[in-house]
Structure 1
Amino acid sequence: MTSFGIATAPQQVEYADVLRVWREADEVPEIEHAWLFDHLLPIAGDPDGPIFEGWTLLSALAARTRRLRLGLLVTSNRFRPPAMLAKIATTVDAVSGGRLDFGIGVGSRPSHPLARREYAAHGLPFHDTGRATDSLDEALTVIERLWTEDAPFDFHGEYVHLDGAYGNPKPARRPPIMIGGRARATLRVVAKHADLWNIPGGDLADCVARSRMLDDYCAEIGRDPAAITRSLHLGVSYDAPEATREAIDAAVAAGFSHIVLGLPAPWPGGVARWVADELVNRSPAHRGT
């Protein structure tokens, strides 16, 4: 079964704009999930323009919606210590009534200068990719334990060190973990921890090849590859919906059953209903569910 969601980048917009679109989407049953991203400075448009912190905004939107599953596509593991992130996520899950999908990844690529500048601007270290990937594995190990274990514990890994770590309250249920990324090292972490894997678009043939790599990494650790839902982010064209529909159908045929439709701002009035009518309902993937 294919599920459809929307992504609204919270940059170059006002809070009221994001809230309007999410509340519209909350009333459109064809849209099952909604996503923000996790950046601290804009990565498109005016580099000094407005941008909102993802988790804070997500909590506000969780309180003003009732149905949508929601999350960040995806949290940068470089921004927040994992035990703190576990507490933040638990809080948002409580605010939402258990609707959180926990999206996480290694963080911005070193090759993306507009993304990299946010680290220096906020006094955050920017570690090499190898360290970022290994620390993501440790972070997820800690986060899952904080969500599930009933007694305090110590953890001393290579990157994460905790004494007397304990999560209370717990999430309503363990939030599904979505890991975003396409690098081989990240896919090994996906195989170990993820319930969903998202790849941020690009050449579909490469996406399929990465999905097959993930199958192989699952097999190496004895995990059923079918346990991980394949998710794809696709950009939306308001002027050429047919092209977007074709991209959706090709992605679903290639095995991606969780589709996130990136909505460019400014968002037209009634954009959520438009997504349902022009993209979801006219897609063979939806008609076949």
Structure 2
Amino acid sequence: MSRPVRIGVQLQPQHAPEYGLIRDAVLRSEDAGVDIVFNWDHFFPLTGDPDGAHFECWTMLGAFAEQTERVEIGALVTGGGYRNPDLLADMARTVDHISGGRLILGIGAGWFQKDYDQYGYDFGTPGSRLALLKENLTRITARLRKLNPRPTRDIPILIGGGGEKKTLRLVAQYADMWHTFADLDLLAHKNQVLADHCAAVGTDQARIERSVQWPGAARAQSFVDAGVTTFTVGVSGPDYDLGELETAIRWRDEVNPEPVSGIA
């Protein structure tokens, strides 16, 4: 399956003392030509002042849906332990409708203990969080089929993580996109593990879009050669400097044979 290269931006909702700064960054990102606008699902900053300004993920996605016209939107990624999965499916369906079918449902097992402790969720263990992610994905996909009205499309599911025994098995079973932090040397191995899981569950591994953080223009083609087609530039508040994003978009336009629109 041949896919065009796509560029995302993760507008990290930290250190912005007012929401208007994020709204402006979304507008500037879409105007710059980005393909996907992500945020993240944390309750506190991950860098800088740990108690600095921060906004909640899914409320923002509803606002992104109304504000934008072209880009896909989503969380990179939703914390698997924060919300009842049936409710999350309903939230995703609603944002899907608000956006006119532009939502990507990103989800992972969760990892930042402060989020859990401060908001009263059970942090558990890596094993228990992955078991919960598996249960959540089963319930989310079942609930999406029951909702009235149905989603406007089969909402793409993005799973973040790289665990070879459990996470990549879930990617093979449920995901349309896989986001990994694996470096280039490890990516080929992870791809093979994913291909093996896909073969075991009867999934065409070529239909799963590979996604990584933007490695810079000098290295990006090497990741494309390894099967990656989506790159995301992380940008933090309060300034939301889009200089590197604009570099990534120019690089995308040089390597793509034609303009990008939506998931291939």
TM-score of the superposition, structure 2-length normalised?
0.89
> What is the DSSP-based 3-state SS (H/G/I as helix, E as strand, rest coil) of the residue aligned with 1:101?
strand
Distance in structure 2 (CA, Å) of the matches to 1:267 and 1:252: 30
Displacement of 1:128 after TM fit? 1.4
1:251 match: 223
Distance in structure 2 (CA, Å) of the matches to 1:284 and 1:41: 35
1:105 match: 108
Q: Spell out, residue by residue over 1:97-147, the C-alpha distance to the aligned partner (whole angstroms, 9 max, x if none).
A: 111010001111xxxxxx212211111111212222122122112111211
Distance in structure 2 (CA, Å) of the matches to 1:66 and 1:172: 16
2:71 match: 68
Distance in structure 2 (CA, Å) of the matches to 1:261 and 1:254: 19
Task: Give the aligned CA root-mean-square deviation in angstroms.
Answer: 1.9
> What is the DSSP-based 3-state SS (H/G/I as helix, E as strand, rest coil) of the residue aligned with 2:150?
coil
> What is the DSSP-based 3-state SS (H/G/I as helix, E as strand, rest coil) of the residue aligned with 1:43?
coil
Distance in structure 1 (CA, Å) of the matches to 2:13 and 2:236: 10
Displacement of 1:286 after TM fit? 2.6
Question: Are residue 275 (structure 1) and residue 256 (structure 2) matched?
Answer: no
1:213 match: 193
1:152 match: none
When residues 223 and 287 of structure 1 are mapped into structure 2, their CA distance, relative to the original with a 3 A threshold, is closer
Residue pair 2:188, 2:226 contacting (<8 A) in 1 also: yes
Residue pair 1:197, 1:228 contacting (<8 A) in 2 also: yes
Distance in structure 1 (CA, Å) of the matches to 2:43 and 2:183: 27
Aligned length: 253
Equivalent residue in structure 2 for 1:187, among 132, 148, 168:
168
Percent of aligned pairs sharing the same letter:
34
Distance in structure 2 (CA, Å) of the matches to 1:189 and 1:66: 31
Displacement of 1:266 after TM fit? 4.2
Q: Spell out, residue by residue over 1:141-183, the C-alpha distance to the aligned partner (whole angstroms, 9 max, x if none).
A: 211121123xxxxxxxxxxxxxxxxx23321112100000011
1:23 match: 27
1:54 match: 57
Structure with bigger gyration radius: 1
Displacement of 1:287 after TM fit? 4.3
Equivalent residue in structure 1 for 2:125, among 124, 128, 147:
128
Q: Which structure has more RCO (C-alpha within 8 Å, separation ≥ 6)?
A: 2
Residue pair 1:252, 1:285 contacting (<8 A) in 2 also: no
Distance in structure 2 (CA, Å) of the matches to 1:219 and 1:285: 34
> What is the DSSP-based 3-state SS (H/G/I as helix, E as strand, rest coil) of the residue aligned with 2:255?
helix
2:261 match: none
Question: Are residue 35 (structure 1) and residue 4 (structure 2) matched?
Answer: no
Displacement of 1:207 after TM fit? 2.5
Displacement of 1:16 after TM fit? 1.3
Residue pair 1:140, 1:193 contacting (<8 A) in 2 also: yes
2:203 match: 223
2:148 alignment partner AA: N
Moved over 4 A (4+): none
> What is the DSSP-based 3-state SS (H/G/I as helix, E as strand, rest coil) of the residue aligned with 2:179?
strand
TM-score of the superposition, structure 1-length normalised?
0.82
2:98 match: 95
Residue pair 1:32, 1:69 contacting (<8 A) in 2 also: yes
1:170 match: 150
